[in-house]
Structure 1
Amino acid sequence: MKFLHLESNKLTGHIPHVLSKATSLMTLNLKDNTLSGPIPLWISLLSTLRVLLLKGNQLEDSIPLHLCQLKSIRILDLSHNHFSGIIPFCLDNITFGREASLIDDTFSTDVEYSIDEVSLMPFHDSQLSVYTALGVNFEVSAESEKIEFITKNRSESYMGHIFMSGLDLSGNKLTGPIPPEIGNLSGIHTLNLSYNQLIGSIPETFSNLKEIESLDLSHNGLMGQIPPQMVELNFLSVFTVAHNNLSGKTPERKFQFATFERSSYEGNPLLCGLPLERSCTPISAPPTVKPLVSNNRENNSWEAIFLWSFGGSYGVAFLGIVAFLYLNSSYRDLLFYFIGKHVPFFRLWG
């Protein structure tokens, strides 16, 4: 058995151990079921796997290191499960379409693909293999092998030789930084790490993803600047880092990055530059200085008014007391008697 498709059923429980004996499997498709538990250790025995689709289950625990032993995989889809922990740094052991894997003749014809379930199936007599089962002859062609994989934000169906390569870990609970080793996947076409809890910066090694066509890092907690070297990714047609904590200036608007709209960057409060409306030009100092000067002048005028009013009040009060004593001789004599008795200077002078 080389191709096993059990997607979109109601399969439950763990991934069955009996599959460990299917060491000739090239495609294992178990997506959109309700399988649970971790990815089993014996998965590393399926050394001929080219496509592993486990999307849309309830698988949990961390992404195991022994998955990195499947070096010939071209498409690995673990999205929309309950995986937690960090992204294994050893994923760069998998070829994901690097030159060494291009000689792979697993599928016998060039790729034909279609959008939204409509498939084009090339047919060449020279590629047919004849099998016999229960006395009935039937023909099986590698061209009839159909793979569906989300890339460039749409579902595409691939027939025949799978040239596309991709890694989808979106919709899980992965934490920690993105390993710089992911940037060594120079032959990968699609990379989706969105809707996780990843932190840290975008690795500068991502500028080595020379074949990348779709890169989605949105809805995480990534920080720091978008590496400016990424503008050299000439095949990138879908790019989004929306809804992170990125800061600094957006990449220069040239080559492919000139085509990306505001939606690729939105949800990063500290990110500035086109195509965002937030400018990276610092606000000039004079507008902030002028109000301070006017405030100081206003404060000084109020202080002068207070001092003049305070002095005037005391002057009026003093003159009032003098006039009162001048007009009332009894109070004036009583005041002089009090001063002469209690103040030594006036007592000696008297």
Structure 2
Amino acid sequence: MRGIQILDFSMNNISGSIPKCLNNLTNLAVRGSSRLAITHTYNVTSIHFYDYYDDEASLIWKGVTSKYKSTLGLAKSIHLSSNRLTREIPSKITDLVGLVSLNLSRNNLTGQITPAIRKSALLQSLDLSSNQMYGRIPSSLLQIYGLGRLDLSNNLSRKIPMGTQLQSYDPSDFAWNPLLCGIPLQQLCSPKETSPDEQPVFRDQEKDGLITSGFYVSLALGFVVGFWRVCGSLIFIRSWRYIYYKFLNCVYNWLYVKIALFRRRRMIDG
């Protein structure tokens, strides 16, 4: 079945391991599709008159059942959730670079998330929840920029990789991982696992890394130098002091005239 693009065996009683030959589904190993709609032709008369129709399929997408027809060519999905699958996820599954949805949740899968997951750059939904997977979350997951739905509720550990993506997910997407730490979870990582520039900052923390003792010293020196550079010049240089006072006097007179004219105009208009 090299042309298959939607493989859905979810909610059955399938046991055993995931076949390693999934990479033979060559249609899933191609990015995108040359046609948005999938059209079939058929013979309607004995004189070889052909007609056609557009195929359609219903998919569970981000928890909602949706029907695809005009964009069915882009819907490339593997859905094997709610079975009794065991062992590790085959590494060859990452060769299916055209996948936009991969759901292996609610099984008994073990092993670690392979760093080669970065090859599935078109993934928009990845659900590996409710399995027995362990180890760390690979930093290569940050390279899947369009990943909108993610659920890794397993037995994962160590620090969540820092980036502009994983920290935007809800903490529930990393639930049931008691040894997992880092943003967006409230569980802080140990100093050995977190560098100074990756220290999590939560809303109840008001400490700013820029406010240090050196900052206060620089602020005090800047104030003293700036103050005496201006005021000291006026105190010790008589000509500057006369010019400064003359300038203030001119500004005062200008403001006084403007205010007087404005009040007089208001009285005349009133």
TM-score category of the 2 structures, normalised to the smaller one: 0.5 to 0.7
Distance 1:163 1:100 in 2: 9
TM-score, length-scaled by structure 1 = 0.50
Picking from 249, 252, 273, the partner of 2:159 is: 249
> For each residue in 1:189-247, what CA deviation from the matched residue of structure 2 results, as whole angstroms up to 9, or x when unmatched?
000000000111111111110110000000000000010111010111001101x1110
Whether the 8 Å contact between 1:75 and 1:96 is mirrored in structure 2 is: no
1:15-94 to structure 2, matched below 5 A, reads 70-94=1-25
Picking from 59, 82, 99, the partner of 2:30 is: 99
| Aligned amino acid, residue 76 of structure 1 | L
Distance 2:63 2:85 in 1: 21
Cα 1:128–1:206, aligned 2, differ >3 Å: closer, same or farther?
closer
C-alpha displacement of 1:107: 1.6
Number of the residue aligned with 2:189: 280
Number of the residue aligned with 1:156: 66
> How many percent of aligned residue pairs carry the same amino acid?
34
Distance 2:29 2:88 in 1: 24
Give the unaligned 5+ runs of structure 2: 193-270
Considering only CA atoms, is the larger Rg found in Structure 1 or Structure 2? 1
| Aligned amino acid, residue 77 of structure 1 | D
Q: Does residue 216 in structure 1 map to residue 127 in structure 2?
A: yes
> For each residue in 1:11-47, what CA deviation from the matched residue of structure 2 results, as whole angstroms up to 9, or x when unmatched?
xxxxxxxxxxxxxxxxxxxxxxxxxxxxxxxxxxxxx
* SS state at 1:73 partner: coil
Q: Indicate the RMSD between aligned Cα atoms, in angstroms.
A: 2.7
Distance 1:253 1:261 in 2: 15
Cα 1:96–1:155, aligned 2, differ >3 Å: closer, same or farther?
farther
Whether the 8 Å contact between 2:31 and 2:98 is mirrored in structure 1 is: no
Picking from 253, 260, 266, the partner of 2:175 is: 266
C-alpha displacement of 1:154: 1.8
> For each residue in 1:233-262, what CA deviation from the matched residue of structure 2 results, as whole angstroms up to 9, or x when unmatched?
0111001101x11101112141x3243110
Q: How many residues align?
A: 189
| Aligned amino acid, residue 215 of structure 1 | L
Distance 1:71 1:128 in 2: 20
Whether the 8 Å contact between 1:96 and 1:188 is mirrored in structure 2 is: no
TM-score, length-scaled by structure 2 = 0.64
